[in-house]
Amino acid sequence: MSETMRASRRGLGAGLRATAKVLPEHARAHNRALVLQHLFHEGPTSRADLARATSLTRVTISDLVNVLLAEGLVEELGVQPGRRVGKPAILVGMRTDAYQIVAVDLSDDAVMRGAVLTLTGEAVVRRSLAVEGRSGDDLVDLLTRFARGLLSAASRPVIGIGVGSPGIIDPSGRVVEAPNRAWFDLPLAGMLTDRLGLPVQVANDANTAALGEYTYGGAAGSMLVLTIGQGVGAGIMVDGARVHGAGDAAGELGHVTVVDGGEPCACGRRGCLETVLSVPALRKAVAGLDTEEADAVLAAAGRVLGTTLAPVVSALNLAEVLLSGPAELVDGALRQAATDTLRTRTMPAVAASLRLRMATLDEDVVLAGAAVLVLAAQLGVS
Ligand SMILES: [Zn+2]
């Protein structure tokens, strides 16, 4: 890894897809992110077209490309085909296979899953490890060993490590609380960075899922990913930026009361969305029913979901709601009822531009999003 890559380890700020020029002191890192962002999403581009696309001068682009060439992040790919007029333009492309990312998904209570990914999100190595009931410091130690194993399995220099974890996690990667892991006020990203000697990003698993769907799954910039598993969580993006909220708990829809005096919840209250919509709750509700009866039960859960989401979707004018969970439970009567309920409970201007669909990245969604955490922090790409 070059010195410049090392210098950039602290990251380029929390912003995601860069779209406009900013203050001079941030300009260099920002411009670099603009160029990488364009190459990442649009593919090989000539310097002249990069200048046009980013509204930067040709001199600035030329300097930036020289730095990126020296870092090994981009390469020259020969002459642009089909151009007959003027000087032939040499295409510049991002070397998405030159570096790798290590990603870890902690969303499953029983198993930690990890992967070594290319910069374009393809998993080249996959590993998983039973958690065996570990929590607190023991779990941090296990996670450290697991990440070390993945690092040694990488076949290219690793630019960073991303971790998606349950719980409330602040932008610095400090776990405010993750009760099921016995993590409270734990500076997880800082600890792992010290132990592993590489930059580590940690974010809530549902937020991470939203990033994964945004960057690798083609989701809209204003959207919500609802993760339906042991619990229920949501990651929200508005206008291409992750929503953190005042206490870093944006998206915690799982513990909104939806049934007065309903089933007891793990949080100590009753009738939370999680008691209706989590996978264990849905499985229990449909157990022993025939298809028609099960569909009626799932549709009822879908109506509860639609009712819960309507004010959220309206307040934020979201373009998409993505459901991430077992298709046999979620992608049928439940999704249809949620869609119908959302449409009847929101004004046409909101409903017309709204799509409610299944997430596309399936069980890899948190891993993919953890990789995006690293891409965004190290390269300014998302
Ligand atoms: Zn609850």
pLDDT tens digit string along 35-57?
Answer: 999 999 999 999 999 999 999 99
Whether 186 and 294 share a structural domain: no
Whether 29 and 84 share a structural domain: yes
CA distance 46 to 312: 42
What does the pLDDT average to over 312-318?
Answer: 96
Q: pLDDT digits over 332-381, tens only? A: 999 999 999 999 999 999 999 899 999 998 889 999 999 999 999 999 88
pLDDT, the chain, mean: 90
How much distance in Å is there from the Cα of 113 to the middle of ligand 1? 26
Whether 109 and 84 share a structural domain: no
- Which of 63, 94, 125 is a domain's end point? 94
Tell me which of 87-91, 187-191, 281-285 is least confident.
Answer: 87-91
How much distance in Å is there from the Cα of 251 to the middle of ligand 1? 14
Q: What is the 3-state secondary structure (H, E, C) of 257-318?
A: ECCCCCCECCCCCECEHHHHHCHHHHHHHHCCCCHHHHHHHHHHHHHHHHHHHHHHHHHHCC
CA distance 305 to 289: 21
Q: How many residues does the chain have?
A: 382
Residue 85 has pLDDT above 70, yes or no: no
Domain containing residue 48: CATH number: 1.10.10.10
How much distance in Å is there from the Cα of 264 to the middle of ligand 1? 8
Whether 65 and 166 share a structural domain: no
How much distance in Å is there from the Cα of 5 to the middle of ligand 1? 43
How much distance in Å is there from the Cα of 170 to the middle of ligand 1? 21
Q: What are phi and psi of 287, to 5 degrees?
A: -60, 130
Question: What is residue 6's predicted lDDT score, i.e. its pLDDT?
Answer: 38
Whether 322 and 269 share a structural domain: yes
Domain containing residue 109: CATH number: 3.30.420.40
Q: pLDDT digits over 61-72, tens only? A: 999 999 999 999
Residue with the bigger pLDDT between 240 and 186: it is 186
Whether 41 and 131 share a structural domain: no
Q: Render 118-167 in DSSP notation, one character per residue.
A: ETTS-EEEEEEEE-TT--HHHHHHHHHHHHHHHHHH-SS-EEEEEEEESS
- Which of 64, 94, 124 is a domain's end point? 94
Contact between 212 and 177 under an 8 Å Cβ cutoff? The reply is no
How much distance in Å is there from the Cα of 266 to the middle of ligand 1? 6
Question: What is residue 10's predicted lDDT score, i.e. its pLDDT?
Answer: 37
Whether 282 and 238 share a structural domain: yes
CA distance 129 to 365: 18
The residues with which 101 forms a beta bridge, in sequence order, are 117, 160
CA distance 363 to 276: 22
CA distance 51 to 45: 10
Q: Please give the angle made by the CA atoms of 133, 134 and 137, to the nearest 5 degrees.
A: 165
Question: What is residue 94's predicted lDDT score, i.e. its pLDDT?
Answer: 93
Whether 77 and 113 share a structural domain: no
- Which of 94, 129, 158 is a domain's end point? 94
At 210, list the tokens: 């939203």
Whether 301 and 354 share a structural domain: yes
How much distance in Å is there from the Cα of 254 to the middle of ligand 1? 7
Whether 226 and 353 share a structural domain: yes
How much distance in Å is there from the Cα of 359 to the middle of ligand 1? 24
Residue 95 has pLDDT above 60, yes or no: yes
Residue 11 has pLDDT above 60, yes or no: no
Tell me which residue range forms the domain holding 328: 219-359
What does the pLDDT average to over 74-83?
Answer: 80
Residue 382 has pLDDT above 50, yes or no: yes
CA atoms within 13 A on the CB side of 185: 0
How much distance in Å is there from the Cα of 275 to the middle of ligand 1? 7
Q: pLDDT digits over 115-139, tens only? A: 999 998 999 999 999 999 999 999 9
Whether 197 and 265 share a structural domain: no
How much distance in Å is there from the Cα of 20 to the middle of ligand 1? 41
Q: pLDDT digits over 195-215, tens only? A: 999 999 999 999 999 999 999
How much distance in Å is there from the Cα of 147 to the middle of ligand 1? 32
Q: Name the domain count of the chain.
A: 3
Residue 232 has pLDDT above 90, yes or no: yes
Whether 59 and 126 share a structural domain: no
